Structure 1
Amino acid sequence: MPNLKKKQFLSSLKEILWPIERSELKLFIPMSFLMLCILFNFGALRSIKDSLVVPNIGAEVISFLKLWLVLPSTIIFTLIYVKLSNMFDYEYLFYLIVSFFLGFFLIFTYVLYPDQDFYHPNLEYAQGLAEAYPNFKWFILIASKWSYALMYVFCELWSAVVINLLFWQYANNIFDTTLAKRFYPILGMVGNIGLIMAGSVLVTFSNIPFGVDGEILDKYSLKQSSLVLQPIMTTIIISGCVAMGLYRYINKYLVKTDKLGNLLSHTQDDTRTKLSVIDSVKLILRSKYIGYIVILLLCYGLAINILEGPWKARVRELYPNTVDYINFMGRFNIYMGISCVVVALIGSNILRKFSWLTAALITPGIIACTGIIFFVFVIYANDIGMIGSYSPIYLAVIIGAIQNILSKSTKYTLFDSTKEMTYIPLSLELRTKGKAAVEVIGLKFGKSLGAFSQSFMFILMPASTFDSVTVYLMVIFVLIIILWVLDVRKLNKEYIKLKGDKE
């Protein structure tokens, strides 16, 4: 009896911590390493884009970038993707798109950034124009640092295109709903180790005191930040190449030749769609189910965008140069990765033990609680004053960081897993092109709506900052959370109908 109980305990523990069967490791291991490489790049690129834009232009400019550059870029990219999906299968689309991103990162790091004084207009001239036309100040400042803005767009698109679209669409084409409940949270757990690795790389290189002719460079200098950026970006490019190699290995040796029981629901020949761009748009617009998923992503994008602006403004106050900002974001990525791994362990069991609805409601719940705490602290920071030896700015940065870590940990695990599960019962056309519209446009459009409300205020009131509009942002934030919860409940009903069972 003791041996039987021990075996039962070990079996239960394995189911909680590692619900992957030995026969499934042949596919699971390369898929998890593929996700690790993609998330490593995501973590590093997210830090780099903010480190370029926030210290050098200002946190307020993020709203303008997301609305006027990121959103149009995602729409254009989605239309191109829909067209290309009729011409190529998943494998060649992956190589084509990832290579395009890596090529730009290479050009920016070794050509545009080091010689930006040649490519950018005169800074004094740009600042003079901004003072002369205050309502268009942020547009002028963006134009004066156009290569930074372009880098920001490409970094934003990496998460929407390579993670949300290419990787997860590929996974959805392989795993059914039952396997997804076991695989997706653990895939996220292993993949999020990439965030820890990205943070470690950022901290390591930003701490190196680079010098020229034996003289240590000033960390505020362009030369110093360029020398910090180059090895980081080289690591990103190597990681992207490894990701393409893993993708090739999976397609050549696993997907095409080894069926692995019932793991694969589609073959390579099934991945090319047939509808034209216009017919695809009509198909997506007619689907109420896709509409609910769009609202889901809109609410997430809006909520996160409204929270991040005030937080990044305070990070800039605390870390006003690119190198220090990279270092802070590196440490932030390390804690983010650790949190994601822990939450993934919990999320895996929530998905298998509870209903889809319960798992899907956790993310808006976490974001609501942590977001309101952050807003309240920021609004009353001046009244609170110093706490011990910590200034209000430092405390606001730490509370905002904790809010971001908890919110995005649940997003990368439970939110992404539950969202991806909703695509699995769909037809190939909706799963491919509906997902393209939802992931690339839906998420960025949500963030752009949040950016619109903020940028509109900054255009009408050029002297305003995040400090002066925080109360209004909190009200909008609460309304978004309410809409999010209502949408999850409606989507749950449609999801149960589409699966043909009851949870």
Structure 2
Amino acid sequence: MCCQSRLSSILLSFPLLVFLGLLVLFCILLATISTQQLLLISFSPALGPRFLGPLAIMRIWSFCLFYVMAELWGSVVVSVLFWGLANQITTVEEAKRFYPLFGLGANVALIFSGRTVKYFSNLRKNLGPGVDGWAVSLKAMMSIVVLMGLAICFLYWWVNNSVPLPSRSKKKKEKPKMGTMESLKFLVSSRYVRDLATLVVAYGISINLVEVTWKSKLKAQFPSPNEYSSFMGDFSTATGITTFTMMLLSQWIFDKHGWGVAAKITPTVLLLTGVGFFSLVLFGDPLAPVLGKLGMTPLLAAVYVGAMQNIFSKSAKYSLFDPCKEMAYIPLDEDTKVKGKAAIDVVCNPLGKSGGALIQQFMILTFGSLANSTPYLGGILLVIVLAWLAAAKSLDTQFTALRREEELEKEMERAALKIPVVAENGTGNGSLASGSGLGDLTGSSSETSAPRDI
């Protein structure tokens, strides 16, 4: 089983790495060829602006394929394979010490990756005429990705061959295989799991609605690929620094204010910054004179506020939302914990990621463009965040009650364990029945049955 797990990790990561390396070499050529072929099919005048998105995907399918594979690297290799390896080679005690450091290290890497993107974006300015600067920088950055990926494969091989694995019990808890309908039924039947599912779905939809709308304004502000990628490099660096700081503060927030406050910070940040962002997008013209005195246009101000929203929302997600979500499973009984997590993995995670995209596609097809849909997207975002806050408040009440019950049960268990010791010291003969008549009722088995009866 262990060898199969290691082999599956290599089979998933290495071909994906090779594919990324080869695709970037031929991406521009493929884009040119596909554009020449697909331009012969002029659907745009007949279908209108509502179908510009699907047609654009067809026209530049090679770059879209590259983007999809790059997203798979983050979601499959980093999220699944890395944490699978970490869970395999670390004990529980080691995980308590090193897992927070893994999160901090990931955000330090984000800072350096942002600086790398910034460097190659500025490098294009010094290239001669006729040189495709975007192709040069893309190949350079993907060469770094391939080299780092090969280093990851080597370290993975070295760990599996040189580092002894901790001994574990061979008995594995069987995880229930729940289909979509079974997951939906379980979500509906449990208020606690239903509120937790609302948090997961609301975050996925909210961040998708905001990020796509913000990137459309970002493209309008920075139409040049150099300027766009340079800004995104600064954005990645700022996200890494902010998340690193929030992770250091998260322990203090949990200790000082508790789970409820920590769970409400992420939707509150989204709500406040979302109001500012959509207000600038929808009502920016009346504010133009005031913003002009600050050296900004309404569009640039909306880009900066949207960047702040994405930075603080993602940092709050990594440092507070994810720990709150995992902590919410702890007080549940084992059956509800396993089934609830399975149901959320099957239904809520995909629904949160794709729900925002489906809403935007529906709005674009209905109103003609993303710009015309912006007021309605802002209203939908407001409703979703308010539902998120309501679910967090409800879940906080239930979470606190379950924690109190858990603490009360532990106190009762400690009290039950102390009673045999007190009785033994008081009688000197190891009997729990002295002075109570319990020994007369239970006979010779009084010593073993008394703690269970208590």
TM-score, normalised by the number of residues in structure 1: 0.68
Aligned residue type for 1:132: A
Q: Does 1:370 align with 2:273?
A: yes
User: CA 1:284/1:380 → structure 2, altered by over 3 Å: closer, same or farther?
Assistant: closer
The runs of 5 or more residues in structure 2 that have no matched partner are 409-454
Cα displacement (A) at 1:334 = 0.9
Within the candidate set 44, 47, 56, 1:133 is matched to 47
Q: Does 1:457 align with 2:369?
A: no
User: CA 1:459/1:446 → structure 2, altered by over 3 Å: closer, same or farther?
Assistant: same
Q: 1:501 matched to which residue of 2?
A: 406
1:185-204 matches, cutoff 5 A: 185-204=100-119
Cα displacement (A) at 1:291 = 4.9
Cα displacement (A) at 1:473 = 1.6
- For 2:47 and 2:83, the matched residues in 1 are separated by 45
Q: Deviation per CA, 1:383-436: give whole Å up to 9, x if none.
A: 111422222221111111111111111112111222234456789999899767
CA RMSD after TM alignment: 3.8
User: CA 1:168/1:333 → structure 2, altered by over 3 Å: closer, same or farther?
Assistant: same
- For 2:351 and 2:223, the matched residues in 1 are separated by 29
Q: Deviation per CA, 1:425-477: give whole Å up to 9, x if none.
A: 78999989976774586344223222222211211233x332x3222222211
Cα displacement (A) at 1:302 = 0.9
Q: Is the 8 A contact 1:185 1:347 kept in 2?
A: no
Within the candidate set 244, 267, 275, 1:341 is matched to 244
- For 2:400 and 2:69, the matched residues in 1 are separated by 33
1:275-294 matches, cutoff 5 A: 282=182, 286=186, 288=190, 291-294=194-197
Within the candidate set 388, 392, 399, 1:484 is matched to 388
Q: Is the 8 A contact 2:183 2:342 kept in 1?
A: no
Residue-pair matches, total: 399
| SS of 1:382 mapped into structure 2 | coil
- For 2:360 and 2:180, the matched residues in 1 are separated by 33
User: CA 1:332/1:92 → structure 2, altered by over 3 Å: closer, same or farther?
Assistant: same
- For 1:495 and 1:377, the matched residues in 2 are separated by 39
Q: Is the 8 A contact 2:117 2:229 kept in 1?
A: yes
| SS of 1:125 mapped into structure 2 | coil
Q: 1:58 matched to which residue of 2?
A: none
Q: Does 1:396 align with 2:302?
A: yes
- For 1:350 and 1:251, the matched residues in 2 are separated by 38
Q: Deviation per CA, 1:246-296: give whole Å up to 9, x if none.
A: 455556666714x7xxxxxx56x567x766866798478636466544432
- For 1:249 and 1:427, the matched residues in 2 are separated by 39
- For 1:120 and 1:97, the matched residues in 2 are separated by 31
Within the candidate set 226, 229, 235, 1:326 is matched to 229
| SS of 1:113 mapped into structure 2 | helix
Q: 1:118 matched to which residue of 2?
A: 33
User: CA 1:172/1:482 → structure 2, altered by over 3 Å: closer, same or farther?
Assistant: farther
Q: Is the 8 A contact 2:183 2:346 kept in 1?
A: no
1:275-314 matches, cutoff 5 A: 282=182, 286=186, 288=190, 291-314=194-217
Q: Is the 8 A contact 2:274 2:309 kept in 1?
A: yes
Q: 1:471 matched to which residue of 2?
A: 375
Q: 2:141 matched to which residue of 1?
A: 232
Q: Is the 8 A contact 1:165 1:440 kept in 2?
A: no
Within the candidate set 379, 398, 401, 2:282 is matched to 379
- For 1:120 and 1:255, the matched residues in 2 are separated by 53
Identical aligned residues as a percent: 30
Cα displacement (A) at 1:480 = 0.9
Q: 2:353 matched to which residue of 1?
A: 447
- For 2:142 and 2:171, the matched residues in 1 are separated by 36
User: CA 1:471/1:169 → structure 2, altered by over 3 Å: closer, same or farther?
Assistant: farther
More moved, 167-176 vs 185-194: 167-176
| SS of 2:58 mapped into structure 1 | helix
1:14-93 matches, cutoff 5 A: 91-93=6-8
Q: Is the 8 A contact 2:35 2:60 kept in 1?
A: yes
- For 2:98 and 2:255, the matched residues in 1 are separated by 11
The runs of 5 or more residues in structure 1 that have no matched partner are 1-85, 260-265
Q: Deviation per CA, 1:41-68: give whole Å up to 9, x if none.
A: xxxxxxxxxxxxxxxxxxxxxxxxxxxx
Greater Rg, structure 1 or structure 2? 2
Larger relative contact order, structure 1 or 2 (CA cutoff 8 Å, min sep 6): 1
- For 2:78 and 2:178, the matched residues in 1 are separated by 25
Q: Deviation per CA, 1:75-133: give whole Å up to 9, x if none.
A: xxxxxxxxxxx99865444333322432331232112334421244546435x311221
